[in-house]
Structure 1
Amino acid sequence: MTIQEPPPRPGDAPDLPVRVPLVTQPLGLLASLRAARANILSIIPRIATTQPMVSGRTGVRWHMVMDPGAIRRMLLEKVDAYPKSMVTKNLLRPAIGESLFVAEGAHWRWQRRAAAPAFSHRNVAALAPCMTRAAEEACARIEAAGPRAVNMYDEMVRATFDVISDVTFSGDEGFDRAAVHRAVDGYVAEAGKVSLFDMLGFPDWVPRPGRVRSGRALREMKSVADASIEARRKRGLEGVPDLLDLLLAGEDPETRRRMNTGELRDNLLTFIVAGHETTALTLSWALYLCAFDPEVQEAAAAEAREVLGDRAAGAEDVAALPLVRRIVDETLRLYPPAALVSRTALEADALCGREIRPGDTVMIPIYALHRNELLWEAPDEFRPGRFAAAKAVDRYAYLPFGDGPRICIGASFAIQEAVIILATLLARFRFRKVAGKVPAPVMIITLRPEGGVWLEAERR
């Protein structure tokens, strides 16, 4: 029989935001499968928050690494020796092909070089009006809902999808945004669940039932995206370039290679999934935390109102909103959207003095890393002030966007968007908890608030 830490109940720990119940005794293969399908993070042992490394065997040899030096070795010094695990690739390849998120080696490198200019500081700042507009529209919807509880997760998903579709397919009236959104969401819900085949290391050509069921929606989504890309090629640049324009113009400076339609589509779908889902989650959890701690919320609201007055935030305001930025940073620590990453060791190595064999699964449980007692003071508490001091945090102890050469290419885009939308919301509304509505952190592919983030929004 396995024993798990019971989930915290509302009122049990008023000083702590909601947490994932972690395993306190080893799980067997079938128990691990059941737990992973319900919530991937529930396979993390509780001792991962008190140790630098934990190892075990469940079908395959596995290790969880929470030591910053060992993580640096994996993500920076020996990045090619620790590619993404086959489980990760099997989950995502049907939707995003061999895009930046999945590709390895030379195929990844040329794509990264070709795409990098699109995410320069200047280009990201130029896309901010889409974020400002989405913030204004979200405020209008919340105000129109009247003085009642609002599911802020749904609102933030809509706001961030408006942003990513505007910066990706601006002006493309024939692009069915709702269909793409439904297809992406359906794929994550159905196909993102780990199967027994994944845990036993079966190759990706062995069908997974959930991924088969979601195949039709994915094919339709890719067809729509391909048609939009071809139409844009023929139309050419009109006005301010959006993300698709920038990627169409992108070229690897070393090989002069440009992305073909399939490569563009796979990367655009990657950016659509990663560029709205993760930011929506960050904003949803940030609003939950602000309602959880009214004192922090009021301080951030005062900062936002002083900078913004009655207008919505823009790119030029981000640097003037340090507390709002720290709330975003602390939210990403407590509820990182990509809360567990998995690698497969290609060669013999040693991490934290332990033997790593070729074929071993080596995980970085970012959720546990961000709450590790060896690295953080009061790790389960919501303390935005911990990010106030420069270099107060070890670089490899805090990895909301990964690190090394494969650090998330859209990190600055995501931070800018989150600060713009959060500051605008806090300046205009006071958010309060709703009795009996506590979100549960559940990870399938990303760390979602199961049950939604229900808050009362009062106009200031």
Structure 2
Amino acid sequence: MDQTALKNIPAHVPLVKEPWGILRTLQAARRNVLEILPEIATRQPIVSGKTGKRWHMVMDPDTLRHILKDRLEDYPKSDVTKNILRPAIGESLFVAEGTHWRWQRRTAAPVFSHRNIQNLAPMMTTAAERCAERTEKSIGRGVDFYEEMVRATFEVISDVTFSGDEGFDRSAMHNAINSYIDQTAKISLLDILGAPNWVPRPSRILSSGSMKQMKSVADEVIDRRREAATKETPDLLDLLLEGEDPETERKMTTAELRDNLLTFIVAGHETTALTLAWALYLCAFDPEVQNRARTEAQAVLGNRAATAEDCANLPYIRQIVDETLRLYPPAAMLSRTAQKPDTLCGREVRAKDTVILPIYALHRNHLLWDKPNTFNPDRFADPRAINRYAYLPFGDGPRVCIGASFALQEAVIILATLLAKFRFSTIPGKTPKPVMILTLRPEGGVWLKVEKA
């Protein structure tokens, strides 16, 4: 690709153009999981190989529907995924399978109803106002908006999860989560080689102390809340405490509540913070898009922060969020383990083969998207024109992300509020690098200069 064309393409990961061995693959995966993706995965419906274990990367929408919806039970989450996540979130919704997953899903689904999400929106608006106040103090200077968005979204998730718990150490919880993602969510050589689950992974043993502390803090908050009076506007913890499986009338124990709360906290703030940070980078990268978005936001909001009621009147802001999730999906790679022999895209799949869903490659596949590496929010002007299984930032099928609507509402509220008030521009030499460990983060931060709109 010539240099002129590259200038029109935002930050991306150069993909592999030749086969690698186990050790080189491991080195790349521990540095940045996306670096092990073959470039051909952006031009083919399926790519197969063997690196210790047989694997298949699937980028075909119909086949992805087969895996995520039609044959869900035959493609559970891979052992590697479970080994990485289980120390932090136990057998919660994100990790559990079969009957144990189904009853938890039935119990938690009403918590994320449209009405409940709208009721929690004022906390999002408040966080957007605080974020704008901090940004106002940085006018004329460079700001790392990845760190700022992490702060804003952690305020939201802690407010909607532990509202009224002044004794809850939010900073300690935040630091424990970051430590976990940085140190223990990396792939081990034992994972690559397909070693059994009972073989210890050293990095995950070393992190057990901070995990135990985080769980202990959450348990204490849950136990205190059981004794507290019901609030007028219940938060996520209140709603989960009240929830029960409509089929079995089973309620969650303290441990089950804690593991699911930690799942919502980790997923709820990290993924939305990443979406917002990358969205601001993209708006700075393309001033025309930013100007159009600002015009829309100012027309709807004036000088106030956005609310849930405004979201329907901010379609272009939503398109920017959708396009950001296409280019930089927080969960950029998913993996499953085939339980039975199958055929995918005409390719033989054996039981125990790893089936990889490389969302990053799917969203940049030339068979599915026009100029897939470019930033163009107008792709989402008509959502019906998008093949549902070509765009999977939240997964799909029965295990689609339970908090997707929550995350989208929060992202639109905060992004619209900031774009209405400020103008963002890139800083030479400060281009963020997309790096995936557990989520797709901007290495080096998202440094942008801030000016008054």
TM-score w.r.t. structure 2 length?
A: 0.99
Q: Does 1:457 align with 2:438?
A: no
Return the match for 2:394 from 401, 405, 408. Answer: 401
Matched, 1:170 2:172: no
The alignment partner of 2:277 has SS state of helix
1:43 counterpart = 2:28 = no
Match of 1:286 in 2: 279
CA drift at 1:13: 1.6
Query: Partner of 2:177: helix, strand, or coil?
Result: helix
- The separation in 2 between residues aligned to 1:278 and 1:209, in whole angstroms, is 27
Aligned to 2:145: 152
Over the matched positions of the two proteins, sequence identity in percent amounts to 66
Q: Indicate the residue corresponding to 1:213 in structure 2.
A: 206
The secondary structure found in structure 1 opposite 2:448 is strand
- Report the AA paired with residue 404 of structure 1: G
Structure 1 gap segments, 5+ residues each:
none
If the length of structure 1 is used for normalisation, what is the TM-score? 0.97
**CA apart distance, 1:145:** 2.4
Q: How many Å separate the matches in 2 of 1:390 and 1:168?
A: 31
For residue 390 of structure 1, report the CA deviation from its aligned partner. Answer: 3.9
Q: How far apart, in 1, do the equivalents of 2:383 and 2:336 lie?
A: 31
**Does residue 1:254 correspond to 2:267, yes or no?**
no
Q: Does 1:389 align with 2:382?
A: yes
The structure 2 residue matched to 1:228, chosen from 210, 216, 221, is 221
The residue that corresponds to 1:356 in the other structure is 349
Residue 28 of structure 1 pairs with residue 27 of structure 2 = no
Q: Is residue 139–residue 452 contact of structure 2 (8 Å, CA) maintained in 1?
A: no
Residue by residue over 1:258-297, the C-alpha shift from the partner in whole angstroms, topping out at 9 and shown as x without a partner, is 1000000000000000000000000000000000000000
Partner of 2:303: 310
User: 2-side partners of 1:110 and 1:404: how far apart?
Assistant: 16
Given that 2:125 and 2:307 are in contact with CA atoms closer than 8 Å, whether structure 1 keeps it comes out as yes
Match among 183, 186, 195 for residue 188 of structure 2:
195
More off after superposition, 121-130 vs 199-208: 199-208
Deviation at 1:12, TM superposition (A): 7.1
In the alignment, does 2:368 pair up with 1:375?
yes
What displacement does 1:144 show? 1.3
SS at match of 1:297: helix
Q: Deviations over 1:69-94 (max 9, x none)?
A: 10000000000000000000000000
**SS of the residue aligned with 1:402?**
coil
CA distance in 2, matches of 1:290, 1:188: 27
1:91 and 2:117 are equivalent in the alignment: no
Question: Hey, what does 1:411 align to over in structure 2?
Answer: 404
Give the drift of 1:128: 0.4
- Are 1:443 and 2:439 counterparts? no
Amino acid at match of 1:393: I
CA distance in 2 between partners of 1:225 and 1:195 (Å)? 28
Unaligned runs of 5+ in 2: none
Task: Write the mapping of 1:101-120 to structure 2, written as runs, cut at 5 A.
Answer: 101-120=94-113
Aligned counterparts of 1:250 and 1:453: Cα–Cα separation in 2: 39
Q: State how far apart, in whole Å, the 2-side matches of 1:333 and 1:453 are.
A: 18
1:373 Cα shift? 0.3
Q: 1:336 corresponds to which residue?
A: 329
Structure 1: distance between partners of 2:5 and 2:109: 47
Pick one of 124, 129, 133 that aligns with 2:122.
Answer: 129
Provide the residue aligned with 2:313 in structure 1: 320
CA distance in 2, matches of 1:305, 1:410: 28
- 1:272 and 2:286 equivalent? no
1 CA distance for matches of 2:168 and 2:384?
44
How big is the shift at 1:17? 0.5
Q: 1:161-206: per-residue Cα shift (whole Å, max 9, x none)?
A: 0000000000001111000000000000000110101111223332
Q: Any idea what SS the aligned residue of 2:259 has?
A: helix
SS of the residue 1:301 aligns to: helix
Return the alpha-carbon distance in structure 2 between the equivalents of residues 271 and 77 of structure 1. Answer: 26
Q: Provide the rounded CA distance (Å) in 2 between the counterparts of 1:51 and 1:355.
A: 16
Displacement, 1:239?
2.2
**Aligned-residue offset at 1:210:** 1.5
Root-mean-square deviation (CA, aligned residues, Å) is: 1.2
Deviation at 1:236, TM superposition (A): 3.2
CA contact (8 A) 2:138 2:450 kept: no
